[in-house]
Amino acid sequence: MTRILGLDPGARRVGVALSDPTGTIASPHSVIDQRSVKLTGAVRALCEEHDVERIVVGLPTGLSGVEGPSAKAARTVGTSVAEATGLPVEYQDERFTTVTAEAALLEGGVRREKRRDVRDKVAAAVILQTYLDRKDLSGDRTSDSDSD
């Protein structure tokens, strides 16, 4: 079985999450700081290390579903990582994921300084979990395909 990588792209930081090998549960993994690391190289290395079969990129849309400049930037990230890894990329609506992540961290009693450090990877996990749940409900289990 292989994993799915989730990305929450931001202007400077990109949150990263990974699914379990069954494609059921998403977990926060890391944050890539684009000021110090090339995003495509870091994502390619993660995909190779964790046997990733596809990538899910959070797509920020407005409340009406309209895509603005942030969505265009997310699609650019998706195109770049697809070219760098050769893996399929899908997009998942990410409305309210940062708010959901922040609320979960507050509820868990995480201090303000620590929340800033983990918020992006928790948001990536929320995006990826939403994608996994949607795939499960539709019966389209990408991770149930035959293994090599």
Give the domain CATH number at 83. Answer: 3.30.420.140
Residue 109, domain member (yes or no): yes
pLDDT at site 31: 93
Residue 42, domain member (yes or no): yes
Residue 146, domain member (yes or no): no
Query: What number of other Cβ atoms are within 10 A of residue 38's Cβ?
Result: 12
pLDDT in tens, 80-118: 999 999 999 999 988 766 667 667 767 777 676 666 668
Residue 147, domain member (yes or no): no
Q: Number of folded domains in the chain?
A: 1
What is the mean pLDDT of the segment spanning 70-79? 94
Average pLDDT, rounded, for the chain: 85
Of the chain, the percentage scoring pLDDT greater than 70 comes to 80
Residue 83, domain member (yes or no): yes
pLDDT band with cut points at 50, 70 and 90 for residue 142: very low
CA 27/CA 17 separation, integer angstroms: 5
pLDDT band with cut points at 50, 70 and 90 for residue 50: very high
49: containing domain: 3-141
Residue 10: pLDDT over 80: yes
Residue 148, domain member (yes or no): no
Of the chain, the percentage scoring pLDDT greater than 90 comes to 57
